[in-house]
Chains A and B, each alone.
Chain A
Amino acid sequence: MEWETVIGLEIHAQLATRSKIFSGSATAYGAEPNTQANLVDLGYPGVLPVLNGEAVRMAVRFGLAIGARIAPHSVFARKNYFYPDLPKGYQISQYELPVVAQGSLDVVLDDGTRKRVGITRAHLEEDAGKSLHEGMPGMSGIDLNRAGTPLIEIVSEPDMRSAKEAVAYMKKVHTLVRYLDICDGNMQEGSFRCDANVSVRPKGSDKFGTRAEIKNLNSFRFVEKAINYEVERQIELLESGGKVVQETRLYDPDKGETRSMRSKEEANDYRYFPDPDLLPLVIDDAFVATIKASLPELPDEKAARFVRDYGLSEYDAGVLTASRELGAFYEDVVRRVGRDPKLCANWVMGDLAAFLNKDNLEINDSKVDAEALAGLVTRIVDATISGKIAKDVFEAMWASGESADAIIEQKGLRQITDTGAIEQAIDEVMAKNPGQLADYRSGKDKLFGFFVGQVMKATGGKANPAQLNDLLRKKLSG
Chain B
Amino acid sequence: MSAPAPTVAALARGLAEGAFSSVELTRAYLERIAAAQPSLNAFITVTGESALKAAAEADAARAAGRAGRLTGVPIGHKDIFCTEGVLTTCGSKMLGNFVSPYDATIVSALRAAGTVMLGKLNMDEFAMGSSNETSHFGPVRNPWDTQMVPGGSSGGSAASVAARIVPAATATDTGGSIRQPAALCGVTGIKPTYGRCSRYGMIAFASSLDQAGLITVSAEDAALLLGPMSGFDPRDSTSVDSPVPDYTATLGDSLQGLTIGLVREFFDKGLDAACEQRIRDAIAVYEKLGAKVREVSCPNLPLSVPTYYVVAPAECSSNLARFDGVRFGHRCDSPKNLLDLYCRSRGEGFGAEVKRRIMTGTYVLSAGYYDAYYLKAQRVRQLISADFARAFKECDLLFGPTTPTPAFRIGAKCDDPITMYLNDIYTIGANLAGLPGMSIPCGFVDGLPIGLQIVGPHFSEARMLNVAHRYQQETDWHLKTPSAFA
Contacts and interface: CB of A to CB of B under 8 A. Distances in A.
Given A48-B235, A50-B237, A277-B207, A89 B200 contact: no
Given A50-B237, A80-B365, A84-B338, A45 B203 contact: yes
Contact of B102 (A39, A51, A88): A39
B327 A43 contact: yes
Nearest to A271: B365
Contacts of A142: 326
A78 B204 CA distance: 15
B362 interface: yes
Given A80-B321, A84-B326, A90-B321, A51 B237 contact: yes
B85 interface: no
A273 B312 CA distance: 13
Interface in A23-50: 39, 42-50
B328 interface: yes
A46 B203 contact: yes
Interface stretch (B366-374, B462-470, B475-483): B366-374
B339 to A, nearest CB: 9
Interface centre among B98, B100, B207, B318 (most CB of A within 10 A): B318
A89 B101 contact: no
A89 B328 contact: no
B324 A89 contact: yes
B101 A44 contact: yes
A276 B208 contact: yes
A87 B208 CA distance: 21
B439 interface: no
Contacts, number: 100
B354 to A, nearest CB: 14
Interface string B252-280: 00000000000000000000000000000
Contacts of B101: 39, 44
Contacts of B237: 48-51, 277-279
B170 to A, nearest CB: 13
Nearest to B90: A45
Contacts of B366: 269, 271
A82 interface: yes
Interface centre among A46, A78, A84 (most CB of B within 10 A): A46
A19 to B, nearest CB: 14
A48 B322 contact: no
A89 B338 CA distance: 14
A50 B239 CA distance: 11
B208 A45 contact: no
Given A46-B202, A48-B236, A82 B342 contact: yes
B411 interface: no
Interface in A45-66: 45-51
B104 interface: yes
A52 to B, nearest CB: 12
Nearest to B361: A271
Contacts of B203: 45-46
B115 to A, nearest CB: 19
Interface centre among A45, A50, A87, A271 (most CB of B within 10 A): A45
Contacts of B324: 82, 84, 89
Nearest to A278: B237
A-side interface size class:
20 to 34
Contacts of A80: 317-318, 321, 365
B328 A44 contact: yes
A194 to B, nearest CB: 25
B173 interface: no
B95 interface: yes
A43 B202 contact: no
Interface in B132-186: none
B321 A89 contact: yes
A39 B322 CA distance: 12
Contacts of A82: 321, 324, 342
B199 interface: yes
Contacts of B82: 45-46
B108 interface: no
Interface in A389-405: none
B367 to A, nearest CB: 5
Contacts of A78: 318
A278 B367 CA distance: 23
Interface in B50-83: 81-82
Given A48-B236, A278-B237, A273 B201 contact: no
A267 B365 CA distance: 16
Interface in B297-334: 314-315, 317-318, 320-324, 326-329
B83 to A, nearest CB: 10
B234 interface: yes
B238 A88 contact: no
B100 to A, nearest CB: 7
B90 A89 contact: no
Given A48-B200, A48-B236, A84-B326, A273 B374 contact: yes
A44 B103 CA distance: 12
B207 A87 contact: no
Nearest to A45: B203
A142 B365 CA distance: 29
Interface in A245-282: 269, 271-273, 276-279
B405 interface: no
A89 B102 contact: no
A46 B318 contact: no
Contacts of A44: 100-102, 322, 327-328
B266 to A, nearest CB: 27
B385 interface: no
B88 interface: yes
A51 B235 CA distance: 10
B90 A47 contact: no
Interface string B190-217: 0000000001111110111000000000
Contacts of B323: 45
B216 to A, nearest CB: 23
Given A80-B365, A273-B314, A46 B326 contact: no
Contacts of B318: 78, 80, 89-90, 271, 273
A50 B327 contact: no
B365 A87 contact: no
Contacts of A49: 237
Contacts of B327: 42-44, 87
Contacts of A50: 234-237
B238 A269 contact: no
Contact of B238 (A42, A46, A273, A277): A277
Contacts of A276: 206-208, 238, 315
Nearest to B101: A39
A80 B365 CA distance: 10
A281 B225 CA distance: 33
A45 B97 CA distance: 13
A224 B329 CA distance: 45
A48 to B, nearest CB: 5
Nearest to B208: A276
Interface string A349-376: 0000000000000000000000000000
Contacts of A42: 327
B367 A279 contact: no
Contacts of A278: 237-238
B110 to A, nearest CB: 16
A277 B202 CA distance: 12
B100 A45 contact: yes
Given A42-B327, A89-B322, 13 more contacts: A43-B327, A44-B322, A46-B199, A48-B200, A48-B238, A49-B237, A50-B234, A50-B236, A87-B326, A89-B320, A273-B374, A277-B237, A278-B237
5 closest A-B pairs by beta carbon, nearest first, are A89-B321, A276-B207, A271-B365, A276-B208, A46-B201
24 contacts: A42-B327, A45-B88, A45-B322, A46-B100, A46-B199, A46-B200, A46-B201, A47-B201, A48-B235, A49-B237, A50-B236, A80-B321, A84-B326, A87-B326, A88-B322, A89-B322, A269-B366, A271-B370, A273-B314, A276-B206, A276-B238, A277-B207, A277-B237, A279-B238
